[in-house]
A and B are shown apart, each in its own frame.
Chain A
Amino acid sequence: MKIKSNLAISESGFVFDPETGDSFTLNFTGKDILNQINQGISLNDIQKNILEKYDVESDSLEMNFYDFISMLKHFNILHENE
């Protein structure tokens, strides 16, 4: 997975796509996930990291994590590696 190349992600979690003009607001966890994707960490490893860092059930995380990933793809923020 790869984040769209020219995306601007600010410290506050504000994401701006300069090509489409779309902007999004991420919460702390969302920003953490996006940063980890940006570092090239696999989705499986990101899930493991989240389980270690946050107080969350594995089933609940899995469902919400993939919902979030789908949303990122839907909004053209995340692409499959080419």
Chain B
Amino acid sequence: MNRRKLTIAVTGLNNIDSPGPGVPVIRGLRESDEFDLRIIGLAYENLEPGIYLHDVVDKSYLLPLPSAGIESLFERIEYINSIENIDVIIPNFDAELFPMIKLEPRLAEIGIKCFLPTLEQFEERHKANLPEYGKKYNVKVPESTAINSYSELKKLSEEFEFPMLVKGKYYEAYTAYNEEQAGMYFNKLANKWGLPVIIQEFVTGTEVNVIALGDGKGNTIAAVPMRKQYITDKGKAWGGITLDDKKMLELTEHIMKSTKWRGGMELEIIKTKKNEYYIIEINPRIPAWVYLAVGAGQNIPEALVKLALGIETKPYESYQVGKMFIRYSWDHICDIQEFEKLTTFGEL
């Protein structure tokens, strides 16, 4: 079979202890039977490991941080595109999704396709908007509220029972068992990720996750439920296993159908002892454990590229239950010349 040649640019090459999804997304793409790919790595930091893994990326470029503004980002992508002729970009960081969604029509004009949620879809599933989301789409969510100051936290301590979850705008969450801890975490998260900080009711149960892909018309193209078996101190999965849980799949399909979600998604769910499913977070992108789904039979990165290119994409109908992943770290050796080239010229 003649495989179609494509150039795909991927961000999230930070394969560190709290890994970005870039490298596993690329592993999935590399296994595609339909595409012969040149992979362009897009990085924000010069020590993102994926940059130096030459069997993973063919070439890497540094991007300006999202704080530099949308225009700088577009100019840089335009420059990279003038060399690489990119077909599809897959952004993998929460913080870059807003500018990428904004840029999607302009990127299309220069021949680059994306497959991202709409701005409305992106905004309404924010942690701070979860209670309204729960009501609108009839799904269980924990009580939560977004706060912008320490004094608001003080007032909330009377309304919420401890323990409570204190969550950063984009990443990180801590369990606070008293007011002092809540205050400490509020300051830490506000400094790191900005405001608001989200205070969420602590729901007791088992954390389970679903990785899914929606076609933007209400169809679920792929969905694989997983339970973390080994969790790092940052709450990241270091091992996990695919589950046979019909209710999780029904919940995912309900969300995809009622929101007409477009793109990759991760649902973070607490399953209580009474078999109730509370959605605690909706991540608007492919998660870092995506390669488990690929290994279980659903190549989500490949399907996302097909959707971006407007190729007919049939929903996956099954996956292997009991498939596991065990993450590992690896000391990759490289020469200073590579680092020099990247930091001096912004590309490698």
Q: Which of B38-46, B79-87, B238-246 contacts A (4 or more CB under 8 A)?
A: B238-246
Which of A6, A8, A18, A21 is packed against the most chain B CB atoms within 10 Å? Answer: A21
A80 near B: Cβ within 8 Å? no
- Least Cβ distance of B300 to chain A in Å? 20
Contact between B243 and A19, CB atoms less than 8 A apart: yes
Query: Is A16 at the interface (CB under 8 A from chain B)?
Result: yes
Task: Look across to chain B and name the residue whose beta carbon is closest to the beta carbon of A22.
Answer: B227
A59 CA to B147 CA, complexed, in Å: 61
A48 to B333, CA, bound (A): 64
Asked if B229 is at the interface of the complex by the 8 Å CB criterion, the answer is yes
* B240 (CB) vs chain A CBs: closest residue: A21
For residue B241, give the distance in angstroms from its CB to the closest CB of chain A. Answer: 4
Contacts of B242 in A (CB 8 A): 21
Query: Of A8, A16, A20, which contacts B206 at CB under 8 A?
Result: A20
Dominant SS among interface residues on chain B: strand
B190-208: which have CB < 8 Å to A? Answer: 206
Q: Which residue of B lies closest to A16 (CB)?
A: B322
Give the number of chain B interface residues (Cβ < 8 Å): 12
Give chain B residues whose Cβ lies under 8 Å from the Cβ of A16. Answer: 322
Interface presence of B47 (CB below 8 A): no
- Expressed in whole angstroms, the Cα–Cα distance for A21 and B227 within the complex equals 7
In contact, B322 and A20 (Cβ under 8 angstroms): no
Q: How far is the CB of B295 from chain A (nearest CB, A)?
A: 15
Specify which chain B residues have a CB less than 8 angstroms from the CB of A6 in the assembled complex: 244
Q: Mark A3-26, 1 if CB is under 8 A from B, else 0.
A: 000101000000010111100000
- Asked if B53 is an interface residue, CB under 8 A from chain A, the answer is no
Which residues of the partner chain A approach B240 to less than 8 Å between Cβ atoms? Answer: 21
Which of chain B's residues have a CB closer than 8 A to the CB of A18?
A: 243-244, 321-322
The residue on B at minimum CB distance from A6 is B244
In whole angstroms, how far apart are the Cα atoms of A8 and B241 in the complex? 15
The answer on a CB contact under 8 Å between B322 and A19 is no
Q: How many whole Å from A76's CB to the nearest CB in chain B?
A: 10
- How many Å lie between the Cα of A53 and that of B220 in the bound state? 53
Q: Which residues on B sit within 8 Å (CB–CB) of A8?
A: 322
Specify the chain A residue showing the minimal Cβ separation from B229: A21
CB-CB contacts of A33-58 with B at 8 A, as 1s and 0s?
A: 00000000000000000000000000
Q: Using Cβ atoms and an 8 Å threshold, which residues of chain A touch B226?
A: 21
A-B contact pairs, 18 of them (CB 8 A): A6-B244, A8-B322, A16-B322, A18-B243, A18-B244, A18-B322, A19-B243, A19-B244, A19-B245, A20-B206, A20-B227, A20-B243, A21-B227, A21-B229, A21-B240, A21-B241, A21-B242, A21-B243
Could you list 8 further interchain pairs (A-B, Cβ under 8 angstroms) beyond the known A6-B244, A19-B245? Answer: A18-B321, A19-B243, A19-B244, A20-B206, A20-B243, A21-B240, A21-B241, A21-B243
Contact surface of B with A, Cβ cutoff 8 Å = 206, 226-227, 229, 240-245, 321-322
Q: Which 4 A-B pairs have the closest CB atoms?
A: A18-B244, A21-B227, A21-B241, A18-B321
